[in-house]
Amino acid sequence: MRFVAIFEAVTKNWLRSRTGLFFSIMFPIMMLFIFGSIFGGTNYVPTMTAAFIMTNGIIGLTSTNTEFKRRGIIRRLSITPLTKADWIVGCVLSQTLLNLVLTGIMITIGWVAFSVRVIPDPLTILMIFLGSVMFSGIGMALSGSIKDVEAASAIGNVISYPMMFLSGVFVPLSIMPSTLQSISNFIPLTYFSDGLKAAIITKSTGTILFDMGIVAALAVAFIAIGVLLTRWKEK
Amino acid sequence: MLELEVQDLVKQYADVKAVDGISFSVNEGEVFAFLGPNGAGKTTTVEILECLRSLTKGSVFVCGYNISKDKDVEEVKKNIGVLPQDFNALDKLTVKENIELIADMYDKHLKVGDVIKLLNLEDKANAKFENLSGGLKQRVGIAAALVSDPKLVFLDEPTTGLDPRARRDVWDVLISLKKLGKTVFLTTHYMEEAQVLADRIAIMNKGKIVAIGSPQELIGKYGGLKILIIRKADKTLADKLEDKFENVTITPNGDVHIKIENTEELYRIMSFLTEMKAERDIEIQTPTLEDVFLKITGSKISEEGETK
């Protein structure tokens, strides 16, 4: 149960960090306001939430984690009986809690500012949970294999931004060329964003379950890859 | 009982041998120091012993467990406490929270409050780690190393970068560890630190252990002779001393240095000085580890740990 102690510690550490709070919560809120005001909020509440859960995992978690590594914090913990899996699970769950809070805030803003009335049901919460685990798993896998803080956040950006555009978060897929539309089938964010839209807006159970299945499978895969790629013993 | 047993340990990087076939052992309850300049291979060795780094060749037993076996590594981790070089903790957590985090990694551990008391950190228990001075951060690191009640404690350069006062504070803590019966493995480039704290010292240079023994043994063997210094001796006295005794040198500022082979010779010099009614400032200089290091390696270690 060491992951519980890790979960508590990294969550507290994050909650007390202002830059962390700004990028993970305030920035998504700002973006929702901007895009929602221009194009209307209905679709942007779920898609923006999905997109920022992705960046929180792939960019945010990757850079916090490489920073932990640079400062020797992971090293210090690795000398204790802590296992890699406990460490990764603790960090992923902490990020997931943060993302649930973020979703709550995004939904509230959707309600207040754009009259998108959504009451999150258990499927929505499960979807958020699985999506968070998937993207945090990618973040842990990246930071497990990259040493340098700058390189980690650069790679995080390189992965995230194309995904954001190619999965129809900012621009609807229907207006994109067909090649780009077919690429979007291979992007994890597409399934998460679609599934979340279905859970929050359209309530189509078939779509939700299909997307959820894919996201769940990817979540397990990325966590496993994270455990495999993370090296604690140095050469 | 031996807490540490190292045989022919080698660590080879692409074209450098960071550790070049060293062997030594550490007894239970002993404070053992690795003394040497930066780049001597101290940290590489200690990190291999802590199971943080792989070894190229040789055998290492820590608390009776073979670190080359994965199953044994788990046992090693339960039995050791570590203060790594450049210790850091989670910035936004308090001293207490950080020590609790490490404690929670073990099935059995001491009460966090007791460890905080032992390290004199009560006043700072609720201060955030990021707001602590260097000396206090090191003490948190030592607390974290002790909280699991380990048999063997590794301290990698525990006082590097600290001001003299903070250094003394850390020394006090280390002296109390010995009283608790802990076995301590220490690395340092400060001669004085090794001399004050260690029961036995291994002097390391360029990947090899060049000498090993208690501070007294090392000084006795390599430190050279004691020197009697007569400050500002006048010309007549200096000349007479030079005529009468061997190994006399006169420094440019008029001090006379006489190397003393044995106690008998010391008495002869003293009675001669009494006879001469030489009321002078007299001092006996005993060799230190610095002289030992100079004698063995032909160089000195600077405050920053570089050879010069």
Interface of A with B in 196-235 (CB under 8 A): 232-235
Q: With an 8 Å Cβ cutoff, is B91 touching chain A?
A: yes
Checking if the pLDDT of B105 tops 80, the result is yes
Does the structure show a pLDDT above 80 at B278?
Answer: no
Instruction: Say yes or no to pLDDT of B77 above 80.
Output: yes
Say which amino acid occupies A140: M
pTM: 0.88
Q: Which of A76-85, B131-140, B236-245 has the lowest mean pLDDT?
A: B236-245
C-alpha to C-alpha distance for A187 and A164, rounded to whole angstroms: 9
**Any A CB within 8 A of B69 CB:** no
DSSP calls for A64-112 = HHHHHHHTTHHHHHHTTT--HHHHHHHHHHHHHHHHHHHHHHHHHHHHH
Using a CB–CB cutoff of 8 Å, tell me whether B258 touches chain A. no
Could you tell me if A76 lies within 8 Å of chain B, comparing CB atoms?
yes
Separation between Cα atoms, residue B42 and residue B49, nearest integer Å: 11
Chain mean position to CA A138: 9
Q: Which residues of B touch A9 (CB under 8 A)?
A: 90, 93, 97-98, 101
Q: Is A17 on the interface with B (CB under 8 A)?
A: yes
Q: Which residues, including other chains, have CB under 8 Å from residue B252's CB and lie 6 or more apart?
A: none
Q: What is the mean pLDDT of residues B67-86?
A: 94
Cα–Cα distance measured from residue B113 to residue A73, given in angstroms and rounded to the nearest whole number: 22
Rounded Cα distance, A111 and A119, in Å: 10
DSSP-assigned letter for residue B287: P
Residue B253's pLDDT is what? 82
Q: How many CB pairs under 8 A join A and B?
A: 76
In three-state form (DSSP H/G/I as H, E/B as E, the rest C), the secondary structure along A132-169 is HHHHHHHHHHHHHHCCCHHHHHHHHHHHHHHHHHHCCC
Joined tokens for residue B104: 């929670």
Average pLDDT for runs of 10 along chain A of length 235: 95 88 82 83 82 91 90 94 94 93 89 83 91 94 84 88 83 82 87 89 88 95 92 83
Note the pLDDT of residue A17: 87
Stretch B59-63: mean pLDDT, rounded? 96
ipTM of the complex: 0.89
Q: Chain B: residue nearest A16 by CA?
A: B92
Picking from B78, B91, B105, the nearest residue to A2 by CB comes out as: B105
pLDDT bin (cut points 50, 70, 90) of residue B20 is very high
Mutate to test the interface with A, among B90, B126, B146, B148 (most CBs of A within 10 A): B90
State residue B107's pLDDT score: 95
- Residue B102, pLDDT > 90, answer yes
Q: What does the pLDDT read at residue B117? A: 93
Q: Which of A2, A81, A235 sits opposite B77 (nearest CB)?
A: A81
CB-based contact B50 A79, cutoff 8 Å: yes
In this predicted structure, what is the pLDDT of residue B33? 96
Q: What is the CA radius of gyration of chain A?
A: 17
**pLDDT tier, B204 (very low <50, low <70, confident <90, very high otherwise):** very high
SS3 of B59, please?
strand
Exposed/middle/buried for B20, CB within 10 Å: 0-12, 13-18, 19+? middle
Residue A148's pLDDT is 81
Beta strands across the sheet bearing B282-285: B248-250, B256-260, B226-230, B282-285
Mean of all residue pLDDT scores within chain B: 91
Helix axes A27-39, A84-114, angle to 10 degrees: 40
pLDDT band at B116 (very low <50, low <70, confident <90, very high): very high
Looking at beta carbons, which residues of chain A come within 8 Å of B87? 72, 76
Find the closest chain B residue to A12 by CA distance.
B93
Q: Is the pLDDT of residue B150 over 90?
A: yes
Share of chain B above pLDDT 90, in %: 60
Distance of CA B190 to the CA centre of its chain: 6
Token digits of residue A220:
């397990």
CB atoms A80 and B50 under 8 Å: no
For B101, which of A5, A75, A81 is closest by C-beta distance? A5
Average pLDDT over residues B152-177: 90
* Chain B contact for A9 (CB, 8 A cutoff): yes
Pick from B122-136, B156-170, B237-251 the range whose average pLDDT is largest: B122-136
Label residue B271 by pLDDT band (50, 70, 90).
Answer: confident
Question: Which residues lie across from B65 on neighbouring strands?
Answer: B62
The closest CB to that of A9, out of B74, B88, B93, belongs to B93
Spatial distance between the Cα atoms of B172 and B91, rounded to a whole number of angstroms: 26
Contact B90 A10 (CB under 8 A): yes
Contact B77 A80 (CB under 8 A): yes
Q: Nearest residue of B to residue A68 by CA position?
A: B90
